[in-house]
């Protein structure tokens, strides 16, 4: 947990979210400013700043994040979807807690 991190606060329930999935390691919730009809974020509960902060010890966790994407996309009614991981300020990352965007269902505009 990082004290000032909004996704840590969502993960521990101190900030509300429109949650669509939760287990011991992961949480998924709808993006507050959606770029598509369906736009949710898959977030490891563990505070990792970005994909660039991942190491070999995170390999299994990263696999779980990716494997959850098609499962939740199907549950949300998507026949196909886009995934996006913004990494670093220059990569368009705004929240520095690792997350994967999953978007679909039309009206999708690519996030820069």
Under rule CB under 6 A, residue 33 binds ligand 5GP? yes
d(Cα 95, Cα 106) in Å, to the nearest integer? 24
Q: Which of 69, 86, 98, 104 touches ligand 5GP by CB under 6 A? A: 86
x/- mask, Zn ion, residues 33-52, rule CB under 5 A, reads --------------x-----
Q: Which of 26, 28, 93, 98 touches ligand 5GP by CB under 6 A? A: 93
Under rule CB under 6 A, residue 32 binds ligand 5GP? yes
The H or E element containing residue 64 is helix 59-75
Residue 107: contacted member of ligand 5GP, Zn ion, none (CB under 5 to 8 Å, by partner type) = none
d(Cα 69, Cα 40) in Å, to the nearest integer? 9
Q: How far apart are the first and last CA of the chain?
A: 27
The three-class DSSP label of residue 27 is strand
The three-class DSSP label of residue 98 is coil
Residues of this chain that interact with ligand 5GP (CB under 6 A) are 6, 17, 29-33, 86, 92-95
């Amino acid at each position: 947990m990082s004290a000032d991190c909004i996704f840590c606060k969502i993960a521990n329930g101190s900030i509300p979210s429109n949650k669509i999935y939760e287990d011991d390691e992961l949480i998924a919730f709808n993006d507050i400013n959606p770029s598509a009809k369906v736009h949710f974020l898959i977030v490891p509960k563990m505070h990792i700043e970005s994909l660039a902060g991942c190491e070999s010890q995170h390999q299994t966790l990263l696999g779980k994040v990716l494997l959850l994407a098609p499962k939740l996309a199907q549950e949300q009614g998507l026949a196909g979807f886009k995934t996006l991981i913004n990494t670093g300020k220059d990569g368009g990352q705004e929240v520095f807690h690792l997350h994967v965007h999953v978007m679909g269902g039309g009206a999708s505009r690519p996030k820069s």
